[in-house]
Amino acid sequence: MNLRELNQIREFALAEAREAPTAEALEAVRIKYLGRNGLLPDVMAQLKEVPAEEKPLFGKAANALKNELTGLIKERQGTLTSVIKKRDAFDPTLPGLWPPLGSEHPISKVTARITEIFQSIGFTVADGPDIETVWNNFDALNTPADHPSRDEQDTFYLNSGDLLRCHTSPVQVRYMGTHQPPIRIIAPGRCYRRDTPDATHSANFHQVEGLFVAEKVSMADLKGTLAYFAKQFLGEDVKIRFRPHFFPFTEPSFEVDFFFEIGGKSRWIEILGAGMVDPEVFKKVDYDPDKVTGFAFGMGIERLAMIMYGIKDIRNLYENDVRFLSQF
């Protein structure tokens, strides 16, 4: 090691310290030259090999380089730190960074539209718990003890003896238990059944129930209400038809189909179930069936969403895939 080599080390060290772009890079320069195993400690260790006549100058130059490099690194550290603080500081003159907006879920959109339509003709929204009693879910709705829906393979029973409601009809029972006629309600909500998930079935789904109870409510009222809903929801050209069916809590009972265009073709599609409230249900809630009559109906929200938006698989509604949901 001689003075010429030491001067070369000095040029490289000072240049690297000046050009270090970040605090991390500057720390790497410090370790390279001033660290315990760095170049300058190694140079000082070689002082004994320097010719005697050069030792004073060599030692003085080595110490000067150490002090100069140390001072430069401290100066650069202060500069880089102030740049970082300035960069991270809030600048009110910069434009805001707005996060992307989400979109309303198809189930929420359909529920809101159904609610809006029925509210426009005097229905109010009622709500109830997802965990229900057997009485509210089955007994009060005139469901026989041997009805298949009561079986454990169809209904989610809890250890407490309660269950996850398999329709939103228990809301009607609860509402009638605390209100006197006339009543006109809809009850949108989540339901649960032991269905095997596939393209059209899910163990967790949504329904909207409707109930109108007053004096002299007739089938004409039911047909007029559902016809109004159909035209508001799907357009003036839609037609409806009633097919005889059976539900434990209505008599007579019907499946209701809508005839409208979907996928370029007009066809009949089953939309909901409906009927006149069975007098036995009124007796369960202490209504006098000789004084009041009523109708009830229920429809699946997922089914309507799939029809409206051309969704082929009900599971798409629950997977929270942003690529799918962003279409709505």
pLDDT, tens digit (0-9, with 9 covering 90-100), for 271-287: 999 999 999 999 999 99
- Shared domain for 138 and 191, answered yes or no, is yes
Cα separations in angstroms, 8 against 13, 21, 36, 104, 221: 9, 22, 20, 68, 101
What is the reported pLDDT for 38?
79
User: Sorting pLDDT into bands at 50, 70 and 90, what band is 82?
Assistant: low
- Shared domain for 155 and 80, answered yes or no, is no
What is the reported pLDDT for 86?
54
Percent above pLDDT 70 for the chain: 96
Pairing of strands 183-192, 124-125: parallel
> Which structural domain, as residue segments, surrounds residue 62?
3-88
Better-predicted residue by pLDDT, 17 or 173: 173
Which region among 88-92, 183-187, 237-241 has the lowest average model confidence (pLDDT)? 88-92
Tally of domains in the chain: 2
Structural domain contains residue 93: no
Contacts with 197 (C-beta within 8 Å, 6 or more apart), sequence order: 203, 315
| Mean pLDDT, residues 119-127 | 95
**Has residue 85 got a pLDDT over 60?**
no
Query: Is-above-0.75 flag for pTM?
Result: no
Q: Which residue spans within the chain are E strands per DSSP?
A: 124-125, 131-132, 163-164, 183-192, 204-214, 239-247, 250-262, 265-277, 293-300
What is the reported pLDDT for 89?
58
- Shared domain for 81 and 176, answered yes or no, is no
CATH classification of the domain holding 205: 3.30.930.10
**Has residue 255 got a pLDDT over 60?**
yes
Domain boundary residue among 34, 62, 88?
A: 88
**Has residue 23 got a pLDDT over 90?**
no
- Shared domain for 192 and 277, answered yes or no, is yes
Is there a contact between 172 and 209 (Cβ–Cβ < 8 Å)? yes
User: Sorting pLDDT into bands at 50, 70 and 90, what band is 167?
Assistant: very high
- Which amino acid is it at 92? P
